[in-house]
Structure 1
Amino acid sequence: MTMSEAELRDRLEDSEQLPYGDARTAVVEEILVRTDALGMSKLAFDVRMELISCYENGALPDRAFVPFAWCLAAFDRGELEFSAWDAELLRWYYKWMIGAMRRFPSISLDQVYAALADMERRYRAGGHSMHAVHMLRCLVHSHLGDREAAEKEFGSWLSSPRDENSDCVGCEPTKQLNHHVWMGRDAEGLALAEPALAGERGCREQPQSMLTAMMFPLVRAGRLGEAWAAHQRAYRHHRGNRDSMGDIADHLEFCALTGNEMRGLEILTRHLEWVDRPREPYSDMAFAASGALVLRRLEELGHGDLSLIRPACGTRVAAEVAVADLRAELTERALSIAAQFDARNANTYQSEVLRKLLASRPLVDQLTESATPGLTAPAAPPVEIPEAMSAEEIAHFADEARWARREESEAGWDRLAELEKAGRLPANLRARLAEARADSELQFGSVEVAIEHAKAAVEGYDGMGDESRRLRVSATLGAAMTLQNPHSGGLAAVEEAYEAAQQLSEVDVLVEIMFLRSRSLAQADRYDDALVAAKETAERASLAGLPVLESEALCLYGLLLSVVDRPDEGMAAVQQARVLAGEAGSASVLLRQTQTLAELFYNNERLAEAYEMSEAALGITAPATKHVQGILARVHDLRWMVLRDAGRVADQEALDEALAALENWHAGGERIGAVLASLHLGITHFNREQWLDAAETLEQTLYGWEAAGMAEGFDVWVARSLLGTAQVRLGERADGVDNLTTAAAGFAALGEPRRAGEELLEAGTVSLRLGESTDALEQFTEALRMFEQADWECGAIVALQRRARALFCSDDPDADEIFEVVRQAYARALKLPESEEYDVGWMRADAADDVARALQQRDEFSAALEMARNAVDGYLIAGDLESVASSSVLVGSLLFDLQDFVAAEEMVRRVLRDDPPEGATQQAQDVLARVLEATGRDSEAAAMWAELYGE
């Protein structure tokens, strides 16, 4: 169908209401096709100018060159009637074109220089400042690595006056900051940026672009908290915009170099599909290089076994890709593009910059929100193993300290592990190192790894004929198998080792096996047998003069007493174990048992004692080994939970505890613990109404669970629910609704219909604000079903009321249907029993107000007036004066509808005298204006209308 020029222009104006992206670009491209079919016209110029903007802001800058050349040629020919605005916009777009040209290696430097010369000629001919020209020349020289030429143009740029062709007051200081940083002048750059950041932002790219440029200078200046905040704020803006691919590269680099490699992996995964559709080659190169840097750091930290999902593209299906494989691919991609730039630029600068980036080392160990200094327990200095000790001497030292001085034992085994890695560990010590690793993994790590090491040790001892050690590690293997699966036959292996060990002369080996047997019986749910075995182990250890092993057995005994519902005896036994560990001087064992006792207090709802015992744990000085950091993390988690249960989850103290827990989990390499701590941190941010921090933290929580294969579960749905609400508060409403509805489905599947209904209520309310009344109606209807399933009448009434509002906002509201819904809600409200959970009177008043408004829509004014007065009375009793004002205005409106103008005027004037909220004030004034008009007071009415609507 042929469209007229007027219709096409209207359609072009309508397209400007769409956000930049593929949809808007496609609409304007179609308009251009239809316009060109009509022949040369000013509209053809205007459409192309709009298309240039779509391409530039829609991550397709290479497509803008052709329409820009067309517009420039048409302008030069002067065949059409152009305005001063057309000329100014062309000058502005010329800056875009040159900025884009340097980012495409297929465009020669001669072409770039020719465009710059033409731009300068046009600016001079028009009497414009050379400010923008010098800026672009500076950027081109920077791209080439020519510091001297770039610095010269920078000086000219600063000394030239700004005019209408200059970048906005946010973008220009950002470019100047980048130049200062490139020249090694961080302080000058930050001094320039901060005043600009505090002032007018200028455009859609600010403040996020400036904050991104500030991240590294802030880190180097030691302003770590500000750097982290800049990263968080800026990335939140950039993440949904493919036009920000180069900025995302900066955020990836920031994560890689500040100890946030896992967050970097999350960001890379979220944006990996951009690699298949990059904005332009320069951003593509930067993104690939920074992504490769993140992956390299993950490999160095021992996470090379991780994988991520490579999204589908074209004929390629979505599939997992290993960290190492993707790193190689991204590295090759970045270097290949850099080589193309080098060929275009006739130097190697871009490749040199890229290789330096790929080899970058961290600027700080870990940069996040900092815990309160001194909150985490003080660490003892690490145990030093003298260099002169032989491997055999180290093994003997570590074995001797096995129970009495666990920190020294672990240090010895760690030293032997270094010797093994260097190929210098004697063969006869490999089994002993494997046994030590099995024991450590069983206590503090992975049961699967413990089994692997224990099997290797058993095999080694078999070949050496070392029966006592073979029995001990056989018991370790059996205990690990029992922990993995109580029905695996592991317990039988432990019993067999126990029987054989009774014939040994080494009492310490027998007692260790007895302890492993006690644990295995407990794992097999044979608690009575385990209690007897643990008590016997403690007694035998005491006789043998093994106080630490006695302490461990007593602690296990206490835990078992708690399991069989003898908590007071259990806590007393653990306290006795603590005393023994303290007397033996084993700090790490004392720390763990103190943490155990604190947890027992907490589990028995003795919160004050739990907090006091956790305080004692933080006062214990132990070497900061991985398992000690895991214990400290649990202590801080416990303290957070005590504060939460005491209603203090929004306190600064709770924030500090969550941060300290997260810090220790990360330091100990415990991913699952770190995820749970990040949930606690997210909950605290949420309750402090720190929506940005809450959203960022909860997203990391969810990513951590997904990476660990835990994409479902109560805590997962809690995190997604809170994330959805935080996103709504941040204005990310569509994403918020998605998370709220996903959480609702999760809670429903877990048999939590009331919680599911609450999520759906919030999702529906947001959908209604977004104008999605159909979605809102579905969400409120499902919420009603959930509340009825949960037998929660209060929620069902609210869901009915919201459903009525969704019907009212629909494209074709049915007054009868709306009335029926609010009538049901009111009828159910009248039957509500008294409850401490909600104010029954207020709910009835609110339902009555809805009925009154529905009756007014049906022109049943008398019945509506009675219900509105009921609402006013109910709200008054409930003390809700804002709702009193709103319902009182409704009474006045209904009196007007019934033509009782005197009573209507009296009612709305009374409302206005009481200084009502703004909404009620406007509604009351509207009714009053209509009353004045109806009673012949036209001048007063006109004044009121003018006050209301400026007419």
Structure 2
Amino acid sequence: MTTHAPDAQAAGRRIDALLEEVDQTPFGPHERALLDQALALAVEGEDEVREYRARMRLTASANMTGDTDTVLSSFAWCVGMHDRDPERFPTSGPEIGGDLLWHYKWMSGALSLNPVFPAEQIHAVLDDMAQRYDRAGVGRSGVVMARFGAAAANGWADEAEAAYAELQVTPDDEYSHCDACVRSETADWLAAVGREDEALRLYDEMVAEGYACGEEPERALSQALVPMLRAGRFDDARAAHLRSYRDARGNAGNLGIVARHLAFCAVTGNEARGLSMLERHLPWFGHDGLNALEHFEALASAALLLDAVTAAGHGDAPVRGSDGPELAPFVGEHEGRWTAAELAPRAWDAAARVAGAFDARNGNAHFAGRLAGFRALADERYDVPVETDAPTPAPVAVPDPDPVDARGWGVRARERAIVGDVVGALAAVDRGLASADDRTRAALLGTQLGILVGADRHDDARLVLADRIASLRASGQAYQADLEERLGLVLFGTAVPDDAARLEAEAQAAQEAGEPAAAADASLTLAVLLGRSAEDGGDAAVLGPQVVAAARRAAVVAPRGAERVDELWEGATFVLALSLAQTTPAEPDAPGRPGVEAPSGPEQALAALDELVASLHAAPGSNRARLADAHRLRARLRAGAGDFDRAVADASATLELDLALGARERATDAAMLGAAILGDLGRPHEAVARLRLAVRQAELAESPRVVGARYALGRQLADVGASVEAVEVLQTVLEQEEADGARPAARAETLEALGHASRDADEPGAAASAWSRAVDLFEEDGAGVGAARVRLANGTLHFQAGYARDAVELLEPAVVQAREAEQLGLLVDVLHLLGRARCADGDPAGLRDLDEVLDLARRHDASWLVADVTDSRARSLVVLDRLDEAVAAALAASDLYAAAGDTRSGGGSLLFAGRALLEATREDEAAAVYRSAADQFAAAGEADGEAVTRLELADVLDRLGRGAEAAVERAAAERAAGPVVP
């Protein structure tokens, strides 16, 4: 292909721009896409120099993201070009984007990852590397470390010992591995040869000194997990697990790191967590086809985990994602998902095959020994729960024996229909029809008709209707047969608004004819039709009372059996309760007694539900799905009325029933409902447990609600102080939202919560980053309030860290957004902080912001806020070197706090004023203010504040030469502090 010079120049500029962008982009999919684009342009234009620069960067990128094939091929191409023309293709340089000699350090490791590369090739690369380093006149540290790493990885014990000894006496140079990598690889080897105490010292040093690199310290922390457990350092192991997994889980090149976390979960009683992790990362098995070492570790760890799951009694649990194409090359084909018990031995066998190939290549039994080590871990057990709350109640499969008669199969069919299992419902109908008498047959066919119409199988339903009418006549139900001949499928779900008048007329006629079942049937159908019309945009104010009236008539006239709950009464009563729950005024036909307020709609709904629940519980063989729905609605109504204790009991009953029915979507809803009520009850740890169950049920149902359940779990974890785990959960939510293309505001809310959790987990940098992204997404969605709220959080973080100017830059746009949204509370909070931040940055304009807040507070009679802003004004005046004004403001703030009933904060204002005076060497004034502060703390019962203030006052009195008074204050401080408890 011939390229015209101008086109070549344009292409060259484009490649240069792409490579410049690559250099500013973190390793990952976007960076790789930029590289691929630059490389394609260079190849197309036959621009070998720029292709060299692109491939040098590509080698590093592939190494960091786990693409061994590209690492090897890209490196080999670059070496060939350098050997052909060293001047055009130098080993390094300002534009090269890497260092060929540095890349050599990765090659023996890359070849070690797969037994397809013979041992001789690994040694040849190491020898070539040494020769090139010698010719270049650079140090040998990189070569020695590469020899050590390859020997340790492949079990060449003598070579590893020799290289380790040489490493101890080899000075560092420009090609030395970084401190993090040296310690990590050395610690791994020490642990592997049984020197776990020495390994732990290196791991601890990495954490204490903050050593980090591309995949460190997460890699080292994963290697440290088992040694920490064996050393009894359970809290450290748990913290290492959470931190390492959180940092590794987003890069598919970290399969080996994740594998070690699976093993950790297997031996610490966290099998459910481990199974979820395995399911999440199964697609990673297909990420790097050449990395057989990570495949070995992942297969062995997965096998260990799955055995633990089986031992815990859940061997029949399906492993989600195990039917994907990534796993089949290792464990073979399988129809559908593997269960834990089925997959475990296949994973062990696959790991053994990989180990055998490695040992054949390496000429030893190193990997056989590693595999034996994995198997031996099954005998180790450490009680290290990762969850920081009450254990999640594990859903237990409740035996659900087959019904014994046709009526029982009818109930089963209605249950399955309510939970959305059309296939199961129709199958239950078929089972019942096989032994039904004419009356029961008619009832079963009626259930079948409702199911078919609900599934839009109207043609099938018409055929069944004829059979149903014949069965009605055969069982003596001629009136109902005639009714269904007139209405067709209307009674089974095809009713439209034009049918309302017909249904009303049929209901009245049936009631007059003494046919209560037919009257109830027509009335219930009418109620459902009117309710659907209201939901579809009809006039709810008009339709609501009509729904209630029709449903009440159906419930009143429906037959009531002494030994069983009639299907019509059950349905009518539930529809009545549902419609009453949506109304607030009392119904006209249910007036209160004179002087007594009539019951509201929700109160009447609760009465109907109480009767329905009691009847369903009392009658054997009742519809559990209907009972669950009744408990669910009653839980919501009771919670709305503030009756939280009984509401949570209803939510628990709903959950138990939904789990027994195997209705995972409904169980998810029930668990989330229970969690919300438990949160209102002030029982947050139990709420967390319910939300964990909700997440698992949603996962098993493959429901889109899993994102919402996880989000709620992450928020609740943060609320109970489990911030590190909250970060992990919320990161998972964010990843799923990004994959699903969730709207910007939804992702922003997740990032907002993630920022708060990160801040509480002592990761301020991560918090600031999350909040910055959240602002962009809120603003992209036009959600100014959300953006202002997050700017406030980020501004607070920066202000508290001492970055006042950064806080000002964050808060100024938030003021505009809060004003535009007319959010007074938010505006007050933003202005308050902005004023303090401006003053802290030396800008007296901040006082105007504080004065505006004061004005707003006074206008709205917010007395405590007036005191608080006055206190902020005092502190800001000190920063601005206006001490006298500051002291006056602090004294005023103290009085204002006291007037607002907050004596403690008033004491704090005085203490601040005393310290400011002392800083200005105005000891006499300071002593007087300190004494007032101590008295105020004493009056508020704040013993700690009083003790601290009196001790500081004593020091002031000593400086004034008033030793006797100082002694008195110290004695008073001791009395305030109370006895020291050993």
Does the alignment reach a TM-score above 0.5? yes
Q: For the structure 1 residues 840 and 768, does the alpha-carbon distance in structure 2 shift closer, same or farther, using more than 3 Å as the test?
A: closer
Where does residue 699 of structure 1 map in the other structure?
731
In 1: Cα distance, 2:429 partner to 2:768 partner: 52
Could you tell me whether the CA contact under 8 Å between 1:832 and 1:840 is conserved in 2? Answer: yes
In 2: Cα distance, 1:740 partner to 1:719 partner: 10
Q: For the structure 1 residues 684 and 70, does the alpha-carbon distance in structure 2 shift closer, same or farther, using more than 3 Å as the test?
A: same
Where does residue 845 of structure 2 map in the other structure?
820
Picking from 599, 602, 610, the partner of 1:567 is 602
Where does residue 870 of structure 2 map in the other structure?
844
Q: For the structure 1 residues 554 and 744, does the alpha-carbon distance in structure 2 shift closer, same or farther, using more than 3 Å as the test?
A: farther
Where does residue 530 of structure 2 map in the other structure?
521
Where does residue 782 of structure 1 map in the other structure?
813
In 1: Cα distance, 2:163 partner to 2:426 partner: 59
Where does residue 641 of structure 1 map in the other structure?
676
Matched, 1:658 2:691: yes
Matched, 1:398 2:412: no
Q: Deviations over 1:747-794 (max 9, x none)?
A: 899999766533221123345689987864443122223443565666
In 1: Cα distance, 2:325 partner to 2:508 partner: 42
How many angstroms does 1:532 deviate by? Answer: 3.0
In 1: Cα distance, 2:494 partner to 2:738 partner: 27
Q: Which amino acid letter does the alignment assign opposite residue 890 of structure 2?
A: A
Q: For the structure 1 residues 916 and 579, does the alpha-carbon distance in structure 2 shift closer, same or farther, using more than 3 Å as the test?
A: closer
Q: Deviations over 1:279-318 (max 9, x none)?
A: 997799999999xx9xx965678999xxxxxxxxxxxxxx
Higher mean C-alpha displacement, 777-786 vs 406-415: 406-415
In 2: Cα distance, 1:870 partner to 1:408 partner: 65
Could you tell me whether the CA contact under 8 Å between 1:119 and 1:133 is conserved in 2? Answer: no
Q: Deviations over 1:140-164 (max 9, x none)?
A: 4xxxxxxxxx486699689979836
Where does residue 616 of structure 2 map in the other structure?
581
Q: For the structure 1 residues 170 and 397, does the alpha-carbon distance in structure 2 shift closer, same or farther, using more than 3 Å as the test?
A: same
Picking from 120, 126, 150, the partner of 1:136 is 150
Q: For the structure 1 residues 509 and 794, does the alpha-carbon distance in structure 2 shift closer, same or farther, using more than 3 Å as the test?
A: closer
Where does residue 576 of structure 2 map in the other structure?
557
In 1: Cα distance, 2:565 partner to 2:277 partner: 44
Could you tell me whether the CA contact under 8 Å between 2:152 and 2:189 is conserved in 1? Answer: no
Matched, 1:536 2:553: yes
In 2: Cα distance, 1:495 partner to 1:632 partner: 37
How many angstroms does 1:575 deviate by? Answer: 0.7
Q: For the structure 1 residues 419 and 245, does the alpha-carbon distance in structure 2 shift closer, same or farther, using more than 3 Å as the test?
A: farther
Where does residue 183 of structure 1 map in the other structure?
none
In 2: Cα distance, 1:212 partner to 1:297 partner: 24
Matched, 1:110 2:110: no
Where does residue 720 of structure 2 map in the other structure?
688
In 1: Cα distance, 2:100 partner to 2:699 partner: 53
In 1: Cα distance, 2:388 partner to 2:63 partner: 39
Q: Deviations over 1:790-809 (max 9, x none)?
A: 65666545534544566678
How many angstroms does 1:653 deviate by? Answer: 2.4
Where does residue 976 of structure 2 map in the other structure?
none
In 1: Cα distance, 2:928 partner to 2:59 partner: 58
Could you tell me whether the CA contact under 8 Å between 2:744 and 2:780 is conserved in 1? Answer: no
Report the aligned-residue RMSD.
7.2
Could you tell me whether the CA contact under 8 Å between 2:188 and 2:199 is conserved in 1? Answer: yes
Query: What's the % identity of the aligned pairs?
Result: 17
Q: Which amino acid letter does the alignment assign opposite residue 850 of structure 1?
A: S
In 2: Cα distance, 1:587 partner to 1:773 partner: 64
Could you tell me whether the CA contact under 8 Å between 1:138 and 1:153 is conserved in 2? Answer: no
Picking from 751, 755, 760, the partner of 2:791 is 760
Q: Deviations over 1:78-120 (max 9, x none)?
A: xxxxxxxxxxx99999765522343589987534122456899
Q: Which amino acid letter does the alignment assign opposite residue 625 of structure 1?
A: L
Could you tell me whether the CA contact under 8 Å between 2:835 and 2:848 is conserved in 1? Answer: no
How many angstroms does 1:685 deviate by? Answer: 0.9
Could you tell me whether the CA contact under 8 Å between 2:877 and 2:886 is conserved in 1? Answer: yes
In 2: Cα distance, 1:777 partner to 1:575 partner: 58
How many angstroms does 1:872 deviate by? Answer: 5.7
In 2: Cα distance, 1:774 partner to 1:478 partner: 70
Aligned pairs for 1:264-283 (under 5 A) are none
Matched, 1:609 2:646: yes
Could you tell me whether the CA contact under 8 Å between 1:515 and 1:534 is conserved in 2? Answer: yes
How many angstroms does 1:457 deviate by? Answer: 3.7
Q: Which amino acid letter does the alignment assign opposite residue 137 of structure 1?
A: A
Where does residue 723 of structure 1 map in the other structure?
754
In 1: Cα distance, 2:644 partner to 2:857 partner: 36
Q: Which amino acid letter does the alignment assign opposite residue 870 of structure 1?
A: A
Q: For the structure 1 residues 119 and 376, does the alpha-carbon distance in structure 2 shift closer, same or farther, using more than 3 Å as the test?
A: closer
Q: Deviations over 1:711-736 (max 9, x none)?
A: 367x8765442222113344655653
Q: Which amino acid letter does the alignment assign opposite residue 533 of structure 1?
A: A
Where does residue 389 of structure 1 map in the other structure?
none
Could you tell me whether the CA contact under 8 Å between 1:558 and 1:570 is conserved in 2? Answer: yes
Q: For the structure 1 residues 129 and 764, does the alpha-carbon distance in structure 2 shift closer, same or farther, using more than 3 Å as the test?
A: closer
In 2: Cα distance, 1:676 partner to 1:300 partner: 24
Aligned pairs for 1:737-886 (under 5 A) are 737=768, 739-740=770-771, 757-766=788-797, 776-789=807-820, 795-796=826-827, 798-800=829-831, 802-803=833-834, 818-826=843-851, 828-829=853-854, 832-833=857-858, 838-854=864-880, 856=881, 864-871=883-890, 874=893, 879-880=904-905
Q: For the structure 1 residues 139 and 406, does the alpha-carbon distance in structure 2 shift closer, same or farther, using more than 3 Å as the test?
A: same
How many angstroms does 1:577 deviate by? Answer: 0.7
SS in 2 for 1:381: coil
How many angstroms does 1:576 deviate by? Answer: 0.6
SS in 2 for 1:547: coil
SS in 1 for 2:857: coil
In 2: Cα distance, 1:55 partner to 1:543 partner: 73
In 2: Cα distance, 1:711 partner to 1:93 partner: 42
In 2: Cα distance, 1:909 partner to 1:654 partner: 46
In 1: Cα distance, 2:610 partner to 2:741 partner: 38
TM-score (norm 1): 0.57
Where does residue 704 of structure 2 map in the other structure?
671
Q: Which amino acid letter does the alignment assign opposite residue 546 of structure 2?
A: D
Where does residue 624 of structure 1 map in the other structure?
660
Q: Deviations over 1:184-236 (max 9, x none)?
A: xxxx99999888766765842555225545889999xxx99999986643232
SS in 2 for 1:689: coil
How many angstroms does 1:686 deviate by? Answer: 1.0
Could you tell me whether the CA contact under 8 Å between 2:688 and 2:717 is conserved in 1? Answer: yes
Where does residue 168 of structure 2 map in the other structure?
163
How many angstroms does 1:376 deviate by? Answer: 6.8
In 2: Cα distance, 1:368 partner to 1:433 partner: 50
Could you tell me whether the CA contact under 8 Å between 1:52 and 1:67 is conserved in 2? Answer: no
In 2: Cα distance, 1:127 partner to 1:609 partner: 70
Picking from 216, 225, 236, the partner of 2:246 is 236
Where does residue 458 of structure 1 map in the other structure?
461
Q: Which amino acid letter does the alignment assign opposite residue 110 of structure 1?
A: E
How many angstroms does 1:490 deviate by? Answer: 9.4
In 2: Cα distance, 1:611 partner to 1:536 partner: 31
Where does residue 360 of structure 1 map in the other structure?
none
In 1: Cα distance, 2:831 partner to 2:203 partner: 47
How many angstroms does 1:172 deviate by? Answer: 3.8
Higher mean C-alpha displacement, 579-588 vs 253-262: 253-262
Q: For the structure 1 residues 870 and 531, does the alpha-carbon distance in structure 2 shift closer, same or farther, using more than 3 Å as the test?
A: closer
Where does residue 401 of structure 2 map in the other structure?
383
Q: For the structure 1 residues 910 and 53, does the alpha-carbon distance in structure 2 shift closer, same or farther, using more than 3 Å as the test?
A: farther
